[in-house]
């Protein structure tokens, strides 16, 4: 995987991912972290002194709120650009990350959708290159767009490797 020497300018027409991604991440956090936290807090309210239950519940609510806030902000940063010779994937708010993958270096393009993703109609396109540590993924694409992008990337990858 090659990283760009300079960041792309403001004229790059980045394509955002689905607006459903923040909701999907909120739902996942609620189910995976919120439900167990609610059970623990409920048991504490039944068995522990009220002060302990109140403090633990308050801390749990603050932590869950922070997790949701961070996940939703991060979900809105994902975008991609299909250039003439490479794919650019951008993510991150505090630390912005831009990954560049030349089409000729792509070996495998996967399409995956988690149970949460299927609920919201979104999927992830995962790109693999020859280097074991290099990969890129575009999360939160509408399912139809993800399938179409996967097909375009496979075709571009084949076209660029034929010219080598």
User: What CATH number should be reported for the domain whose range is 79-162?
Assistant: 2.30.29.30
* Band (3; pLDDT cuts 50, 70, 90): very low
> pLDDT for 91-112, tens place per residue?
998 888 998 888 888 888 999 9
For 123, the token pair is: 């999927």
- Find the range with the poorest average confidence among 87-91, 126-130, 142-146: 126-130
> pLDDT for 34-45, tens place per residue?
999 999 999 999
Using CB atoms within 10 A of its CB, is residue 43 exposed (0-12), middle (13-18) or buried (19+)? exposed
State whether residue 16 is helix, strand or coil. strand
Picking from 154, 83, 91, 146, the residue whose alpha carbon sits closest to that of residue 114 is: 146
Residue 56 has pLDDT above 60, yes or no: yes
State whether residue 20 is helix, strand or coil. coil
pTM recorded for the entire structure: 0.80
> pLDDT for 57-93, tens place per residue?
999 999 999 999 999 999 999 999 998 889 999 999 8
* Predicted pLDDT at 7: 61
Say if CB 142 and CB 122 are below 8 A apart: yes
Distance between CA 112 and CA 118 in Å, rounded? 10
Query: Beta-carbon neighbour count of residue 39 at 10 Å?
Result: 10
Q: Which helix (H) or strand (E) holds 123?
A: strand 122-129
Could you please report the per-residue DSSP string of 59-109?
HHHHHHHHHHHHHHHHHTT-EEEE-SSEEEEEE-SSS-EEEEEEGGGEEEE
* Predicted pLDDT at 19: 94
* Predicted pLDDT at 10: 75
Residue 114 has pLDDT above 70, yes or no: yes
For 68, the token pair is: 């949701």
């Amino acid at each position: 995987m090659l990283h760009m020497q300079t960041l792309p300018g403001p004229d790059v027409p980045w394509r955002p991912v689905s607006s459903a991604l923040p909701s999907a991440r909120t739902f996942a956090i609620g189910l995976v972290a919120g439900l167990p936290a609610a059970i623990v807090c409920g048991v504490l309210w039944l068995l522990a002194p009220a002060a302990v239950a109140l403090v633990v519940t308050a801390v749990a609510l603050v932590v869950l709120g922070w997790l949701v806030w961070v996940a939703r902000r991060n979900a809105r940063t994902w975008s991609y650009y299909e250039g003439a010779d490479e794919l650019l994937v951008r993510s991150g708010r505090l630390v912005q990350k831009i990954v560049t993958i030349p089409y000729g270096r792509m070996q495998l393009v996967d399409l995956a959708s988690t149970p949460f993703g299927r609920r919201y109609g979104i999927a992830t396109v995962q790109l693999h290159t020859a280097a074991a540590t290099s990969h890129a993924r575009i999360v939160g694409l509408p399912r139809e767009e993800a399938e179409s992008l996967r097909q375009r990337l496979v075709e571009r990858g084949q076209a660029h490797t034929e010219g080598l």
